Amino acid sequence: MYDVYAIRPDFPVLEQVVYLDNASTSQTPRPVVEAMNEYFFEYAGNYGRGAHRLAQATTEHYENARESVASFFEADPRNVIFTKNTTESINIVAHGREWAPGDRVITSAIEHHSNYLPWVGLSSYGVVLDLVDANHEGIIDPNAVEEKITDSTKLIALSHVSNVFGSVLDIDQVIKIGRKHGVSVLVDAAQSAGEIPLSMKKLAPDYLALPGHKGLLGPQGTGVLIIHDPEELRPTILGGGAVEWVRGCDYELLDPPARFEAGTPNIPGVIGVGRAVEYVKTLGVTNVEKHVTMLARLAAKQLAEIENVTVYGPENRIGVVSFNVADLHPHDVSMMLDETNKICTRSGYHCAMPALLSLGLDGTVRASFGPYNTIEEVNLLTGAVGLIATSLV
């Protein structure tokens, strides 16, 4: 049975603060840090380069991490590419596909900038961006996505969970729509990987982009791109470790995934992600989903009952609660929560400016929950917000 209090000692910083900024980055548990330290202290070498024992041990641990991540998402290890974050993963798709003038990409007006600006940037190739509207709670109707599809549509790129609203997209239906029309689908799983079960076998998106440092509880500077068919993408970076041979100006790329991982990778980070997914497995993703959903919905309910507080997003949310206190800037509220109760929240546009501007907002305060957060911490948050809000009356 899932016991939040049993895992909290794995996150020492929780003794000092109430950490509610998990949508930005999670805390990293002791076993993951220990796995990275083991690399530095016991077998540090370069990946895939060298016949000596340290290089061989490094390569073995790195590829074991790939196997762990592949198993976690029920994917073929050859289709798992390690990146430095979700942003890089999405950009690999944006710049690795072949585009022609007039090609169209569908995304939404509530995306994180990382799943918005790469597609905007394709305008230099003549690619047209079609935006699907979300309602005021951040919910996107899959039927609205289908209505945007034309003969020129090549890709649908949408977030599974909104980092502003906590709303959950019906990605299963969107992927079916894409398949029906012969359109590729990219799922931005930045806010769902590790907190909602995801299977490449069951969902079968063309691309799954995700971070190592959020729901997977891995270190920062790590990300993953899982590609259904790696042969349809060209590498966006060329260099050492990605080629079979080079003669003059001719070269031949290695098979995937190596061709997409040129240069020395973030070896300790990847090893950390491999250990992190094993840690999350022991928690059970379904258990984590239930836990963070319960906390977010409880927080939203309690905050909505406070005079002068406005909560944004749907009732059926997961993990994220954005809110504002009347007449106070979100940054001021977030600082007050930190200074008075050591509560760490996010404030601002959350790298999703179009979403908040569409609501006429100059940012929000965002509380986001992880597997180690508790009901007591929710109560502490809402109690502190209540004191701030009632001081305005």
Q: From the centroid of its chain, how far is CA 168?
A: 13
Hunting for tokens 């380069």 — which residue is that?
49
Q: Rounded to whole angstroms, how far apart are CA atoms 83 and 209?
A: 10
Catalytic residue among 351, 381, 385, 389: 351
Cα angle: 319, vertex 107, 315; to 5 degrees: 30
SS3 159: strand
Q: Rounded to whole angstroms, how far apart are CA atoms 220 and 84?
A: 8
The yes-or-no answer on residue 344 being catalytic is: no
Contact 375, 184 (CB under 8 A): no
For the CA atoms of 58, 62, 63, 64, the dihedral, rounded to the nearest 10 degrees, stands at: 100
Q: Are strands 207-211 and 184-188 parallel, antiparallel or unpaired?
A: parallel
Instruction: Name the nearest CA neighbour of 324 among 356, 353, 366, 293.
Output: 366
Contact 209, 86 (CB under 8 A): yes
Q: What does the buried/exposed string (b/e) look like for 146-176 if buried means 16 or more CB atoms within 10 Å of the residue's CB?
A: bebbeeebbbbbbbbbbbbbbbbbebeebbb
Q: Rounded to whole angstroms, how far apart are CA atoms 346 and 361?
A: 15
Positions marked active-site: 351
